[in-house]
Amino acid sequence: HEHTGKASIDNPNARTIEVLEQMCAYYDQTHDHWRTIAYRKGIASLREQTSKISTAEAAQRLPFVGARLAAKIEEIVWTNRLSRLDNALADQDPAAAALQTFLRIYGVGFAQASRWVAQGFRTLSSLAGAKLSPSQKVGLEHYDDFNARIPRAEVEQHAAVVRECLRRLDPAAEVIVGGSYRRGAADSGDIDLVITHGSAGLAHLQRLVFETLVPQLTAQGFLKAALATSHKRDGDAAGAKWLGASCLPAPNPQVWRRIDLLLVPPAEIGAALIYFTGNDVFNRSIRLLASRKGMRLNQRGLYRDVGRGPGRTRTARGTLVEARSERRIFEALGVPWRSPEQRIC
């Protein structure tokens, strides 16, 4: 999940401000005083907003934001980048710009991106001649799709498609939308669906999802590509999940979205919800807090006496304290409850 540009630190316009500041720094460097000042005033104005500004129309109502800056604000919100800035940086340092561009391809990490730059690749279209894994190929073909933000209402529509199919297969199965959506974000980088069950365990969920749900949703054209799948179940490993792409039926715009299906047995739903709700910084801090109290928290549960088995034998997992209830995990850790909206660090 190596998304760039986390949308929200605590300011709802943090990502927009971050990109505008880069554009402003570029104008400053090129001694474009007029634009530098205009951007500074516009950024200051945006920084004071307590809600997310997502349209040019709303942006233009702010002090010091003219039509052109307003259009750029809308572009950043919906594409997560600014083409004017990309072009400016590419002119200044083509290799550095290429690296940044390649890093935004789904499934491409730093090592792969630098290798392509070293081999002389500079543009996305040139990568057609490079060696790509099947999921990198999908990532490249749907570069703009996967880098675009997903409006909250569309996340709900994708969840509804999965929920409806699942309801027909097994009425006791359940879909909970996790990730940034559960934290209340106005838009998300991907769609995180936690799939659980009223009573049955993981084996049932795996059969249901991998053998029936995914093939059916693929056949009906909703699921477009599988990017990674994992049945692994040991230790802190990924657990059972299916990562891929989905697209709403026409006449909706045919934009492919990144979708994660995360299979969670009911006995572990509390711990899994904490993990898949995040954000990642919150997860790191709550895990650290657990370890300071001699416990261990992962996506499967909260454990005590970790690594302190009888006769100095290391028990990998320790004794289970709680896994089923989010609230009871907070209680066992001795921290006040925080609603998903408050789990932003």
Which residues are at the interface with ligand DCP (CB under 6 A)? 1, 3, 179-180, 188-190, 192, 275-276, 278-280, 283
Of the pair 74, 192, the CB lying nearest Mn ion is at: 192
The percent of the chain in helix, strand and coil, each rounded to the nearest 5, is 50, 15, 35
Q: Quote the least distance from Cβ 214 to ligand DCP, whole Å.
A: 19
Number of residues that bind Mg ion (CB under 5 A): 3
Task: Give the number of other Cβ atoms within 10 Å of residue 310's Cβ.
Answer: 7
Region for 255 from its dihedrals, namely left if φ exceeds 0, alpha if ψ lies in -120 to 50, beta otherwise: beta
Q: Which of 72, 131, 137, 241 is catalytic?
A: 72
Q: Is 326 in the site for Mg ion (CB under 5 A)?
A: no
Q: Is 192 in the site for Mg ion (CB under 5 A)?
A: yes
Q: What is the DSSP string of 53-107?
A: --SHHHHHTSTT--HHHHHHHHHHHHHSS-HHHHHHHHHH-HHHHHHHHHHTSTT
Of the pair 36, 80, the CB lying nearest ligand DCP is at: 80
What is the spatial distance between Cα 197 and Cα 206, in angstroms, rounded to a whole number? 11
Q: Quote the least distance from Cβ 286 to ligand DCP, whole Å.
A: 10
Of the pair 280, 331, the CB lying nearest ligand DCP is at: 280
Q: Is 154 in the site for Mg ion (CB under 5 A)?
A: no
Q: Quote the least distance from Cβ 145 to Mn ion, whole Å.
A: 15
Q: Quote the least distance from Cβ 180 to Mn ion, whole Å.
A: 9
End-to-end CA distance of the chain: 18
Q: Which does 276 bind (CB under 5 to 8 A by kind): Mg ion, Mn ion, ligand DCP, none?
A: ligand DCP
**Burial letters 66-93, b for 16+ CB under 10 A, else e:** eeebbebbbbbbeebbbeebeebbbeee
Q: Is 278 in the site for Mg ion (CB under 5 A)?
A: no
The 8-class DSSP code of residue 312 comes to G
- Cα-atom radius of gyration of the chain, to the nearest Å? 22
In terms of Cα–Cα distance, which of 253, 252, 273 is closest to 262? 273
Question: What does DSSP say about strands 240-246 and 319-322: parallel, antiparallel, or unpaired?
Answer: unpaired
Q: Name the closest residue to ligand DCP (Cβ).
A: 278
* Known catalytic residue at 131: no
Of the pair 117, 263, the CB lying nearest Mn ion is at: 263
Q: Is 190 in the site for Mg ion (CB under 5 A)?
A: yes
User: Contact with Mg ion (CB under 5 A): which of 12, 179, 244, 265?
Assistant: 179
**Rule CB under 5 A: which residues touch Mg ion?**
179, 190, 192
Catalytic residues: 72
